[in-house]
Amino acid sequence: MITAGIDVGSTATKAVIFDGTIRSMAIVPTGWNPKEAGRSVFNEALTRAGLLEQDIERIIGTGYGRVSLSFIDKKVTEITCHAKGAKFLFPKTRTVIDIGGQDSKVIAIAEDGAVADFIMNDKCAAGTGRFLQVMTGVLDITLDELGRLASGTKPASINSMCTVFAESEIIGLLAQEVTKEAIASGIVQTIAQKMMSLTSRVPCLEEITFSGGVANNPEICAILSSAFGAKFNIPNRPQLVGALGAAIVGFETIK
Amino acid sequence: MESNIEPTILSEFVDLRAKSILSILAAKEDGRKVVGMYCLYSPTEIVMAAGAIPIPLCGTKQDPIAVAEKVLPRNLCPLIKSSYGFAASGTCPFFNFTDLLIAETTCDGKKKMYELLSELKPLHLLQLPQTQDDQEALQYWYGEVVKMKERLEVQFSVTITDQDLNEAIQRMNEERRSLKDLQDIAKLKPSPISGIDLLMALYNRGFSIDKKEVVRMVDRLTIELKELHRQGVTPFTTKTSRILLTGVPVGIGSHKVVQIIEESGGNVVCFESCGGYKAVYDQVDEEKEPLLAIAEKYLRTPCSCMSPNVGRFELVERLAREFNVDGIVDLTWQGCHTYNIESFSLKKYLQTKKSIPFLQIETDYSESDVEQLKVRIEAFLEMIS
């Protein structure tokens, strides 16, 4: 039995083909057309697996663009999917921290693997990938460079959680000739603080699995992990945890 | 949620708000006075005893908010902005009918907004104490209730007797009884009525000026719903997740969270909030001196503007049990600090009792975050189903 999970995020669209193990995966930028992105990432994943659409018994859609996919059998929210995906990769996971393009979330998982509680950022971009994107824009660096600059430097204090205000604050710091390294470190600290404040509302038990695009950056992972005082499980492909979870949801409904 | 056979009387509730505009016009021509009220702490009985028509004015729509923001800060709660905006823009016919407004010092935002509102209409402000379990607070509040009666007497040149008050108390107790019976119908599993229909009926009946007729209509709706249940007619199944909604006031126009819950496959079976159960679970004692009995009942209202507010915690916990709910959604309007802060304590309180899944939603009246809310609410329903 083979299933597919398609995760249409605000920044990237991901697909996983699953048969009890991961058969193939694909990532494309979402761009302006979530429907197209969903279709093309699915086709790419099928090609990589050497399969045809009719070989797939169930297709589950997730992510904010899940409603725009016409070829899926069912839609499931990314909360449920991230929990499933993380649990599959790291069976002892009790907490998932996910930082995506426009949402960040903390998911508490019960011993039996079910979602016990969750919390998401409110409707602003604080503590999301978008926040980091804007800040790297101000510093004229990439996300990878942000991580490298940030590690091992004493952070400049950045007080604004709001993306717009933080941007002004950083421009002010640059004017005061604060180093790029200190600002980069300060930016990552604000993300850590935001995520810590979310975990005050839900239980945050170990093991903690960190998913979402931001987890691709090892230095940022290390800074967050030390802020939490806990070791993080980092998947090889952290962006794919949601799509993997979706495929597993499909797999379980047939089983 | 599939569309289904509806109780025939429900359509009468749909028209009620529009129809009552005509009856208020006619009553005004006969010399009746109209009193606008904003809050559950304002004793309706006294307005009725003065022979005046009580009308709820709490703003539940997005439309007038832009007008309100010319004066009020943008990051204020939408309920306050909507209430003020309706008054300032002249777009609410009910506000235009009023001869007097009754307001109350609940939250900071409201009491300062009322200062601005008093420039538009005669306004009587009730100074509400901030605590409930205290004889001195009750005495103080009793004094405020007496002052309100005196204000109405002067304003409308009437004398309010104990007999007037007792009659009004009986009528309001009867109305509360009928509204409670209606809401208790949703204890049936599955409920024969959707939360959105229940909210519409509860909200629209407030605009009717004929209290006796309202009681008849509400009782008929309750009987019809019982009958539908007997026949097994319901928009839901026994597997539908049952939700209790608590927190800030909700009305038609500010019902988006209710709608999202039900479109995502849940059923709001109980509104603990102002327009729902909180307004009707408690009665005015008919044996006591009427103004004191009124003061006691109204001061017991469990709102987050009180400190402490244990009454709300106990009520939510009790209703969650009685309505057999699968989850609690605690709604906070952006800028409502009291409900926002209290959400943390409520969640903690509920966890020490029986762990009931709990979701706080913070939003406003706009449609801007509908997709984000859907993720949270759908995920919550996936979690509890």
- What is the per-residue pLDDT across B312-333, written as a single tens digit (0 to 9) for each? 999 999 999 999 999 999 999 9
Pick B382's closest partner by Cβ from A64, A76, A201: A76
Nearest to B86 by CA among B224, B98, A101, B75: B98
Q: Does B227 touch chain A (CB under 8 A)?
A: no
ipTM of the complex: 0.91
- Which chain A positions have a beta carbon within 8 Å of B375's beta carbon? 64, 77-79, 103, 120
Quote the pLDDT of residue A87: 97
pLDDT-above-90 percentage for chain B = 95
CB contact under 8 A, B375 and A122: no
Computed over every residue of chain A, the mean pLDDT equals 93
**How large is the average pLDDT for residues A117-121?**
92
Question: What confidence tens digit (pLDDT) does each residue in B156-191 have?
Answer: 999 999 999 999 999 999 999 999 999 999 999 999
- Digit-coded pLDDT (tens) for B71-97: 999 999 999 999 999 999 999 999 999
Q: What is the mean pLDDT of residues B179-206?
A: 97
Min Cα–Cα distance to chain B from A152, Å:
36
What the block records as the tokens of B92 is 């609410």
Find the mean pLDDT for residues A89-100.
96
Chain B contact set for A103 (CB, 8 A): 372, 375
The C-alpha of B266 sits at a distance from chain A's nearest C-alpha, in angstroms, of 15
- Sorting pLDDT into bands at 50, 70 and 90, what band is B3? very low
- Position A121 scores a pLDDT of 83
Domain ranges of chain A: 1-90+236-255, 93-234
Q: What mean pLDDT is predicted for residues A33-58?
A: 97
Q: Which residues of A touch B365 (CB under 8 A)?
A: none
SS3 call for B45 = helix
Query: For A64, which of B362, B375, B383 is closest by C-beta distance?
Result: B375
Query: What is the pLDDT, as a whole number, of residue A95?
Result: 97
| Whole-angstrom distance, CA of residue A17 vs CA of residue A37 | 16
Q: Is B379 within 8 Å of A123 when comparing Cβ atoms?
A: no
Q: How far is B301 from chain A (nearest CA, A)?
A: 28
pLDDT of amino acid A102 = 86
> pTM here?
0.94
**Whether A72 contacts A65, CB under 8 Å:** no
Rounded-to-integer distance, Cα A119 and Cα B359, Å: 8
Of the listed ranges A47-56, A149-158, A243-252, B30-39, the least confidently predicted one is A149-158
B8 close to A (CB below 8 A): no
Q: Does residue B369 belong to the interface with chain A, where contact is any CB pair within 8 Å?
A: yes
Q: What pLDDT, on the 0 to 100 scale, is given for residue A165?
A: 87
Sheet (strand B241-247) strand order: B266-271, B241-247, B327-333, B358-363
pLDDT at B255 over 50: yes
Query: What pLDDT score was predicted for residue A123?
Result: 66
Across B359-370, average pLDDT: 95
- Asked whether the beta carbons of residue B382 and residue A103 sit closer than 8 angstroms, the reply is no
Instruction: Verify whether the Cβ–Cβ distance A79 to B357 is below 8 Å.
Output: no
CA distance A244 to A252: 12
End-to-end, the C-alpha distance of chain B in Å comes to: 15
Q: Domain coordinates of chain B in residue numbers?
A: 29-162
Question: pLDDT value at position B207?
Answer: 93
Helix (H) or strand (E) run with residue B258 in it: helix B256-263
Q: Where are the beta strands (DSSP E) in chain B?
A: 34-37, 53-56, 100-104, 123-126, 241-247, 266-271, 327-333, 358-363
Nearest by CB to A78, from B344, B369, B375: name it: B375
Say yes or no for a CB contact (<8 Å) between A123 and B363: yes
Residue B378 near chain A (CB below 8 Å): yes
pLDDT reading at B1 higher than 80: no
Give the CATH superfamily of A1-90+236-255. Answer: ATPase, nucleotide binding domain (3.30.420.40)
Identity of the residue numbered A160: S
pLDDT for position B2: 43
Residue of B372, B384, B385 to mutate, interface with A, max A Cβ within 10 Å: B372
Q: DSSP for chain A?
A: --EEEEEE-SSEEEEEEESSSEEEEEEEE-TT-HHHHHHHHHHHHHHHHT--GGG-SEEEEESGGGGG-SS-SEE--HHHHHHHHHHHHSTT--EEEEE-SS-EEEEEE-TTSSEEEEEE--SS-TTSHHHHHHHHHHHT--HHHHHHHHTTSPPPP----SHHHHHHHHHHHHHTT--HHHHHHHHHHHHHHHHHHHHTTS--PSSEEEESGGGG-HHHHHHHHHHHTSPEE--SSGGGHHHHHHHHHHHHHH-
Q: Chain A: give the shortest CA distance to residue B329, in Å.
A: 13
Identify residues of A whose CB sits under 8 angstroms from chain B CBs: 64, 76-80, 103, 114-118, 120, 122-123, 201
Rounded distance between C-alpha atoms, residue A147 and residue A222, angstroms: 9
CATH of region A93-234: 3.30.420.40
Helices (H) and strands (E) in chain B, counts: 15, 8
**Is-contact B385 B241, C-beta < 8 A?**
yes
Q: Taking the CB of residue B217, how many other CB atoms lie within 10 A of it?
A: 21
Task: For residue A201, list chain B residues with Cβ-Cβ distance below 8 A.
Answer: 344, 347
Answer yes or no: CATH 3.40.50.11890 is held by domain B29-162.
yes
CB A30 within 8 A of CB A9: yes
Residue of B nearest to A79 (CA): B379
Instruction: Using pLDDT thresholds of 50, 70 and 90, give the confidence band for residue B5.
Output: low
Asked if B362 has any chain A CB less than 8 Å from its own CB, the reply is yes
Residue with tokens 């702490």: B41
- Whether A1-90+236-255 and A93-234 share one fold: the answer is yes
Report whether pLDDT(A223) > 70.
Answer: yes
Q: Which amino acid is at A70?
A: S
Taking only the tens place, the pLDDT of each residue in A235-251 is 999 999 999 999 999 99
Arithmetic mean of pLDDT over chain B: 95
Identify the pLDDT of residue B68: 97
Angle CA B253–B258–B264, to nearest 5: 130
* Assigned token pair, A54: 């009719």
pLDDT at residue B221 greater than cutoff 60: yes
Looking at chain A, how many residues does it have?
A: 255
